[in-house]
Structure formats: structure tokens, C-alpha cells
Structure 1
Amino acid sequence: MATTTSSPTIILIAGHWLGAWAWDEVLEHLKSDHPRAIAMTLPGLDAHDPERATRTLDAQAEAILGVITQHGGQPAILVAHSGANAPVSLVMDRYPELVHRVVWVDSGPVATGSVFAPDLPEELEELPLPPFDVLAQQASLEGLSAEVLEQFRARAVPEPGPVLRQPIELTNDARRKVRTSLVCCSIPSAQVLELAQTGHPMFTEVAQLEHLDVVDLPTGHWPMWSSPRDLAKAIQSEASRNN
């Protein structure tokens, strides 16, 4: 078992509409080998925050920094799922020395200038979780039972409009030196790497990474629910890499 004095903190950060609760099953498996693993809820995704609809990507990035600081201020392992890629990319740009490794879960680093929803109307304060038939056209629901989908619907928090409309501004090439792992779920790693090499805008940053490892975990876009044990194993394996 890893010791609390030798292992970096693992910070699990879920994507749009989700809070720390989304990682509950993964944490159950992960903590037996890595007791310093924690999950956080990004600003704007706490249902009890009366100002949540006004939260920004900058606020989310600073919150991640705050969690790193609260847990000793030493370089941490950031595990970013889906839409958490935007604030985590900001953290890597602004504080690369505080990121020991980043593990992208069916996700990846964003490029400067990226906007998640550039056409989102300014008057729309937040974006609720869409109907599942609509969501399935954007991301794979493979492996999710009716019970899981019901919980997803019941606990999902609308995504703040400012988070979806804010352009990503990145200036520090040191972010590309951070050790990086891609856990590829809904798109196989071979296809991801091919898209990166051919300049696909979603994967352009992947081609610029200096230290990249890939692992395939074939399942849908929410592996924390469809394959929590295997995802925990993948995270633990990538967190243990020394390269």
C-alpha cells in the first residue's frame, strides 16, 4: 500500500453537471492503494451555492489550486474527466510546478482560444443536463444502467453559463511538459493519437505533449459509473508511473 508521506495527492475532478459524488465508487476502490485520493466539486456545481450560476473557469481553476494548497501544497496528480479539462488546463498553464501528473479520463487538454459553447445565448444563465437521447448524440452512454441514469438525472447540477462561454487563454508552454496520461474510453487511444497527429482541433494539444502515456478502458464516457473498479486500477497505475 502507498504511504501518505510518499505519494502525491490524487484529486478527482468530474466534468459537466457533476460534483465529487460522481467518484464515490472509484474512491472506494482507489483508497485501498492510495489513501491520499480525494474528490472535489468545482465552483458552480454545488447545488447549495446560491451564486453558482455566476461561477467562472477562473474560479474553478483557483478552487483546484486551493485544494492542492490545503493538502500540503506539493505537486498533485489531477484526474480530469470530460469538461473538467478546461479548468485543469488553466491550472497546468498557471501552476505547472504544482501538477505532478495529469490523468485525462475520456478527455484531454484544451487549446488556447477554445470555448466549449460559443453559441450559448448570453441570456442563458445555466445549461441543465439535456435529455439522454440528446446527450447520447454527444457522448457514449455505454455501460450505464437505468438506475445510474436515474441518479445522474436526480443529482446533476446545471452548468454555469460563464463556464461554457469563457474562452481559454493559455500562454505557458510549460504545461506541455507535465507528465500526462490519457485514459481512453469512448474513443480508442489509437484513434485519439491519429486525430492528434492529423491536427484535429479537439486533440491538437495532445500532439504537443512531451511526456505522454495512454491506456485503453473501453466503455462509455462516464467510466466512473460503468467501470469504476477498472478506472480506479487505471488511475492507480498511471499515478504510480515515475517517467
Structure 2
Amino acid sequence: MDIILVPGFWLDASSWEEVTPALVAAGHTVHPLTLPGLESRETSRTGIGLRTHIDAVIEKVDSLEGKVFLVGHSGGGAIIHGVVDSRPDRVARAIYVDSGPLGEGGVINDELPDDGDDIPLPPWEGFEDADLVDLTDELREKFRARAIPEPRGVAYDQQHLHDVRRYDIPATVIACEFPSSMLNQMMDAGHPFTEELARIRDVELVDLPTGHWPQFTKPAELSAAILKAVERTDQGRPA
């Protein structure tokens, strides 16, 4: 199967480098993406918005045959949900890594401090303690060395959705910062953060306790969780 990996903010395709080997070893074709504006620190991010990133992933989907699996980390969750909405007939399952689907009119995070068209990686003091669990000093140093400013428009633009068939696509949420029990409580209470997720007909919640960047802190466990989600989908298909 084709698995498309969409990184979260400040990261490019290389951020998946410790996750992909296990997926490839299991026989899958893996497509880690570097999204527009994340090619380098010197790249212009003018005019790049949320839809730009959604369209870039759609382009990859359209270049492949058959159904694909979409994996989105953090802000990448909003991006893959936009792709599910645009190509519901092409997605076997959407896998949200410490993220979830962003509903109509929502924004990923318009409170991040910007510098013109760029949103640089904030200082660590700007993150919650739960974000940084297991992110050692060494990992923080490596992360900051590789971090590329995020295009402001991606964080600030509203999500726009059009096809209710998106609710028919199975979803897996790999819960890292907050346990699945909390997500279940939020869905039951109708919390705005999980409102779109609660509308999806087949949702699987998986716990992977760590901070917000499991591709760095627990890559082997993340690979295993992704593989289980893929296998669950394959087993559920008619022979």
C-alpha cells in the first residue's frame, strides 16, 4: 500500500526518517512529503496557505494508483483532512498523529507568533510541558537545527470543506500528549476541538504516551501504531 506521510509545522520529509524503515520493511511504499515553503530556510513563503499544502498532498494522491493511507502529524492532521474531503474515494484511512481533523472554518493555530510570512519555531518555553515529554536536550537541539519557518498562511487560514463523504473514511488517532480517554470524554461532551472527529463514523483511538513529536521520541512505537492501523483497514476489506 501507498502511505503518504505529512509532517507537522517546521518539519520536512526527513522528519519521518526513523519511522519509514519499518513501514518499508512491512512491504509498503512510503511517501514522506516536504510541503511548499518548507524546502529550506531561504525559501519564500509568500502566498503559501493551508490550501496550498492540501493541494500539494492531493497532487501526490493523484499521481498514485488505487487507495492510499494518509498520515498527518500535528498541523498535518488538518491538511490530510482537507485531502480526505477532496478525494474521499481515494483514501483508505486517515491516521492522525497527535492531531485530528479540522472542521469547517477552523484554523490550525492563529496564535503562533509570526515574522511576516514566516512562523519560526518558538522557544521551548513557549510550549506546554506535555508537548515536550521525552524530548531530551539532544533531541531539542537536533529539532531546532532542522526546523524551517512555517508559512504563516498555513497556520492562520480557515479550513473549507465541501464533501460529507469525508465522514465515511475510517480514521485512527494516535494520542500522545493526551490519553484517548480524554478524547472520548471531549467527544461525548461535544467539545469544539473534537466536533469534526465525532462525526466520523469509524474512529479508532490508540494511545502512544509521549510528547508532541513521537517521530523523534518514540519512532519505533509510532511505526508500529501506523502499521496496525493499516493492517486493521486491510483486514476489514472484503476478499
TM-score normalised by the chain length of structure 1: 0.90
How far is 1:45 from its partner? 1.4
2:4 paired residue number: 11
Instruction: State yes or no: 1:93 paired with 2:85.
Output: yes
How far is 1:34 from its partner? 3.1
How far is 1:135 from its partner? 2.0
1:29 paired residue number: 22
TM-score normalised by the chain length of structure 2: 0.91
1:3 paired residue number: none
RMSD: 1.8
In structure 2, do the counterparts of structure 1 residues 140 and 121 end up closer, same or farther at CA, with 3 Å as the change threshold? closer
SS of equivalent residue, structure 1 residue 67: helix
Return the letter of the residue paired with 1:94.
Answer: S
Instruction: State yes or no: 1:105 paired with 2:109.
Output: no
Moved more, 139-148 or 226-235: 139-148
How far is 1:183 from its partner? 0.8
After TM superposition, list the pairs within 5 Å mapping 1:189-204 onto structure 2.
189-204=180-195
Distance 1:119 1:152 in 2: 21
1:181 paired residue number: 172
1:59 paired residue number: 52
Instruction: State yes or no: 1:41 paired with 2:34.
Output: yes
Distance 1:22 1:121 in 2: 23
2:64 paired residue number: 71
In structure 2, do the counterparts of structure 1 residues 68 and 190 end up closer, same or farther at CA, with 3 Å as the change threshold? same
Instruction: State yes or no: 1:213 paired with 2:204.
Output: yes
Give structure 1 stretches of 5+ with no counterpart: 1-7
Decide whether the 8 Å contact of 1:44 with 1:54 is kept in 2. Answer: no
Return the letter of the residue paired with 1:133.
Answer: E
1:148 paired residue number: 139
Return the letter of the residue paired with 2:215.
Answer: M
Give structure 2 stretches of 5+ with no counterpart: none
1:226 paired residue number: 217
Q: Percent identity?
A: 35
